[in-house]
A and B are shown apart, each in its own frame.
Chain A
Amino acid sequence: MSVFEYAPAPESRSIVTLRSHYGLFVDGEFTDGGGAPLKTVNPATEEVLGEVAVGTDADVDRAVRAARKAFTRVWGPMRPADRGKYLFRIARLLQERAREFAVLETLDNGKPITESRDVDVPLAAAHFFYHAGWADKLEHAGLGPAPRPLGVAGQVIPWNFPLLMLAWKVAPALAAGNTVVLKPAETTPLTALLFAEVCQQADLPPGVVNIVTGAGDTGRAVVEHADVDKVAFTGSTEVGKQIARSVAGTRKALTLELGGKAANIVFDDAPVDQAVEGIVRGIFFNQGHVCCAGSRLLVQESVHDEVIASLQRRIGTLRVGDPLDKNTDVGAINSPEQLARIRELVGIGEAEGAHAWQPEGDLPERGYWHKPTVFTDVTPAHRIARDEVFGPVLSVLTFRTPDEAVAKANNTTYGLSAGIWSEKGSRILAVADQLRAGVVWANTFNQFDPTSPFGGYKQSGYGREGGRTGLRAYLKES
């Protein structure tokens, strides 16, 4: 019991109106789905938030036909500046309804309200603002004098950043003149359906954005539909491989943003306090449900003990609990399945001889929770140094020289992101040059911006999202 106990500071959920039943959003209208509805729950309390329709093959076909019609008749022929106006309008509506989106995201996902409020929603709006500006400037995208849209994009997104991943997918697709059929994750469909309301509010022509909820079968129907021109997927490497197989041999364009096992490299001349912050942000941000999470800490042996002591002290101040509390730092694990996966890998880590450490404190009784966990004495041969945990679990490895750091950092089947901590600029540049990762952060971590392309090497996928480079995924050269 500290002398300074922060009283509960819960964000009110009254701004959100939950419904007992949510439909699909097809051709500008909410409709029933053919499948047996799913229940979506608040992972922090196990409370059922509502029933959500499940799209069947027929529903997906309806959505793709609506998207095709909107592409050929309305959105494709529309003046690019007018498409931009719709996107600006959507961006402003996201800002106006930011608190509603933030609370709903936290309820459905389990992430702390400070993150949905300060990161997810503002960044989602920023992606629409950024791409709205591109809509009438595509001839400057470096893809020839008059690049053309691909057509109908089938998009499947994960549960870790439900609204933000929607924005990463929908904003560039629409700006480039495509229409979309989007399948949100089965455990986090609610903000996508609220976004559908925003599309109505913005008077977006029917069929430009279609949202079909459901589980894996619905996603497969979207990806495999013959009239889809472009498939974009963010999620696990395992599902990504299945999608790559099913798309192979078709005319469909494909971008995949898959798993990661990022190295966060701390050199002995690092700004230690800020590096510790970066390590914490790297692995405990969003409960570690981040594909680019800094899940492997590579720390130079000469500062290992100092950095770990500092890190443990800092983790001791993390507040784990009610995601709606404005002082919560680490929220709930999104689903019992994910929690089981994290526990399994933590068990393997202990069995393999790595040393696990967790801070003091109790977890809430209801809901799905996992304490921030740090494994020391991890070697590159350990499963917890190789497999993506996708949870608040950090594996600490050491190195002696920059060459060894680079070799260990690159010794992974993934290559999504990496971090470098050093006060020496020349070292940062030299090491960054050798890292096989799509994003390399220097003296920071998990910073996102719509102007900056994001994507992976190796089994972290292909294609880029964001920035001018990201437009390439939704345009044909003329």
Chain B
Amino acid sequence: MTHVLDPTAPGRPVAPGAPDAFADVTRSDAAFRAFLHGLPGVDQVGAEARAAQLGTRSIKTTAKAWAIDTAISMVDLTTLEGADTPGRVRSLAAKARRPDPADGSCPQVAAVCVYGDLAGVARDALAGTGIHTAAVATAFPSGRASREVKLADVRDAVANGADEIDMVIDRGAFLSGRYLDVFDEVVAVKEACGDAHLKVILETGELRTYDAVRRASWLAMLAGGDFIKTSTGKVSPAATLPVCLVMLEAVRDFRAATGTQVGVKPAGGIRTTKDAIKHLVMINEVAGPDWLDPVWFRFGASSLLDDLLLQRQKLRTGHYSGPDHVSVV
């Protein structure tokens, strides 16, 4: 390993995407390591206590109604199964356009998230709705493929019609300290995305520590990610409130330092309206209300939408209906 203070450490050209304030931190492995390890630590007990405390906010009546509609508009309605077919994706797209067929006032979701080969089906089914087509790429979910394969995966998804790409970082490289390799890969994927928005999945369930989550968040933001995303949904634990807290702190601090706003997407494990509202409270009080918008915050979820719809119906009619009152896909 090259020591931070090694005067002979090789330099490298400044990455094109990096914000000016931090242009030189990726000049060498050592410099990048020093920068990431120099970020303030996260005290695990304190972070978890803060997340739990925010979870006790009581969101009622008008606030709840606003929160439910906002949460629906932030959903990346997702199907990532080996058994996915064009028919299932079209069915999902139909639900994305009209989540509650009985209620025209119900907002649309933000995006439909599928595997890259089905991005074209999703795009066609969503044409004219303003709903985005997101595709997972880069050898999702493990990310274990050569860079060429990953980049080809991205280009293919974009060519098929995806305007949002959800990539996974190389956790193996990250955990073994090859931060610059991970960074370079995100930069390359961003370039391959063209105009498509890039969401960078950190797979926090494999990073394990909040310190690592904070470092990976900064790495992804410096490399030009438009969103940082917790999980693939294929690893447990997926999104947790404390992890989301640390990521929201990261995007808040990154904007304060660079002026660039980056979005956050927790994915996997958020199934109830209560969970979704806890996230909205956390955005409001940690990152700030600027992030309370589908442009800057998404829920990666499949079953969450159904619970949001049931709670929305309950709030309007005063009684609970049942699972037959929301559409299956």
B57/A327 in contact, CB under 8 A: yes
A273/B249 in contact, CB under 8 A: yes
B46/A271 in contact, CB under 8 A: yes
A274 contacts chain B at the CB level, 8 A cutoff = yes
Complex interface residues of chain A between 306 and 351 (CB less than 8 A to chain B): 317, 326-327
B58/A326 in contact, CB under 8 A: yes
Interface of A is mostly: loop
B285 contacts chain A at the CB level, 8 A cutoff = yes
Picked from A3, A8, A114, A270, the residue with its CB within 8 Å of the CB of B56 is: A114
Minimum CB–CB distance for B298 against chain A, Å: 17
B86 contacts chain A at the CB level, 8 A cutoff = no
Minimum CB–CB distance for A96 against chain B, Å: 21
A4 and B46 in contact, given A271-B40, A271-B41, A272-B40 (Cβ under 8 angstroms):
no
Complex interface residues of chain A between 265 and 306 (CB less than 8 A to chain B): 269-274, 277-278
B47 contacts chain A at the CB level, 8 A cutoff = yes
A2/B289 in contact, CB under 8 A: yes
A423 contacts chain B at the CB level, 8 A cutoff = yes
B62 contacts chain A at the CB level, 8 A cutoff = yes
Residues of chain A with a CB closer than 8 A to B49's CB = 277
Give how many A residues have a beta carbon under 8 Å from the other chain's beta carbons: 24
A9 contacts chain B at the CB level, 8 A cutoff = yes
A9 and B58 in contact, given A2-B289, A3-B292, A274-B50 (Cβ under 8 angstroms):
yes
A3 and B289 in contact, given A270-B40, A272-B40, A277-B50 (Cβ under 8 angstroms):
yes
Residues of chain A with a CB closer than 8 A to B102's CB = none
B42/A274 in contact, CB under 8 A: yes
A444 and B289 in contact, given A4-B67, A7-B63, A270-B40 (Cβ under 8 angstroms):
no
A5 contacts chain B at the CB level, 8 A cutoff = yes
B284 contacts chain A at the CB level, 8 A cutoff = yes
A118 contacts chain B at the CB level, 8 A cutoff = yes
Give how many B residues have a beta carbon under 8 Å from the other chain's beta carbons: 28
Minimum CB–CB distance for A367 against chain B, Å: 21
Distance A162 CA – B56 CA, assembled complex (angstroms): 24
Minimum CB–CB distance for A312 against chain B, Å: 13
Residues of chain A with a CB closer than 8 A to B46's CB = 271, 273-274, 277-278, 443-444
Distance A423 CA – B214 CA, assembled complex (angstroms): 15
Picked from A4, A274, A326, the residue with its CB within 8 Å of the CB of B284 is: A4
A274/B63 in contact, CB under 8 A: no
Complex interface residues of chain B between 246 and 300 (CB less than 8 A to chain A): 249, 280-281, 284-285, 289, 292
A4 and B280 in contact, given A271-B42, A272-B40, A273-B42 (Cβ under 8 angstroms):
yes
B43/A274 in contact, CB under 8 A: yes
B56/A118 in contact, CB under 8 A: yes
Residues of chain A with a CB closer than 8 A to B249's CB = 273
User: What total count of A-B pairs have CB within 8 Å?
Assistant: 69
B61 contacts chain A at the CB level, 8 A cutoff = yes
A317/B42 in contact, CB under 8 A: no
B62/A4 in contact, CB under 8 A: no
B45 contacts chain A at the CB level, 8 A cutoff = yes
B144 contacts chain A at the CB level, 8 A cutoff = no
Residues of chain A with a CB closer than 8 A to B40's CB = 270-273
From A269, which residue of chain B is reached at the shortest CB distance? B41
B57/A6 in contact, CB under 8 A: yes
Residues of chain B with a CB closer than 8 A to A5's CB = 62-63, 66
Distance A273 CA – B213 CA, assembled complex (angstroms): 14
Residues of chain A with a CB closer than 8 A to B50's CB = 273-274, 277
Minimum CB–CB distance for A445 against chain B, Å: 10
B316 contacts chain A at the CB level, 8 A cutoff = no
Distance A272 CA – B285 CA, assembled complex (angstroms): 16
Residues of chain A with a CB closer than 8 A to B175's CB = none
B23 contacts chain A at the CB level, 8 A cutoff = no
Interface 0/1 of A1-17, CB less than 8 Å to B = 01111111100000000
A4/B45 in contact, CB under 8 A: no
Residues of chain A with a CB closer than 8 A to B70's CB = 4
B60 contacts chain A at the CB level, 8 A cutoff = yes
From A272, which residue of chain B is reached at the shortest CB distance? B40
A7/B60 in contact, CB under 8 A: yes
Residues of chain A with a CB closer than 8 A to B280's CB = 4
B64 contacts chain A at the CB level, 8 A cutoff = yes
Minimum CB–CB distance for A133 against chain B, Å: 26
B45/A7 in contact, CB under 8 A: no
Interface centre among B47, B50, B67 (most CB of A within 10 A): B50
Distance A443 CA – B47 CA, assembled complex (angstroms): 11
Distance A443 CA – B70 CA, assembled complex (angstroms): 36
B59 contacts chain A at the CB level, 8 A cutoff = yes
Minimum CB–CB distance for A311 against chain B, Å: 14
Minimum CB–CB distance for B57 against chain A, Å: 6
A6/B41 in contact, CB under 8 A: no
Residues of chain A with a CB closer than 8 A to B292's CB = 3-4
Minimum CB–CB distance for B65 against chain A, Å: 9
Residues of chain A with a CB closer than 8 A to B45's CB = 443-444
Residues of chain B with a CB closer than 8 A to A7's CB = 59-64
Residues of chain A with a CB closer than 8 A to B60's CB = 7-9
Known contacts A273-B249, A423-B43, A443-B43; 10 further A-B pairs (Cβ under 8 A)? A4-B67, A4-B292, A7-B62, A9-B58, A118-B56, A270-B40, A270-B41, A273-B47, A274-B50, A443-B45
Give 24 pairs: A residue, B residue, CB < 8 Å, sorted on A: A4-B63, A4-B280, A4-B284, A4-B289, A5-B62, A5-B63, A6-B59, A7-B63, A7-B64, A9-B59, A9-B60, A118-B56, A271-B40, A271-B41, A271-B42, A271-B46, A273-B249, A274-B42, A274-B46, A326-B57, A327-B57, A327-B58, A443-B46, A444-B46
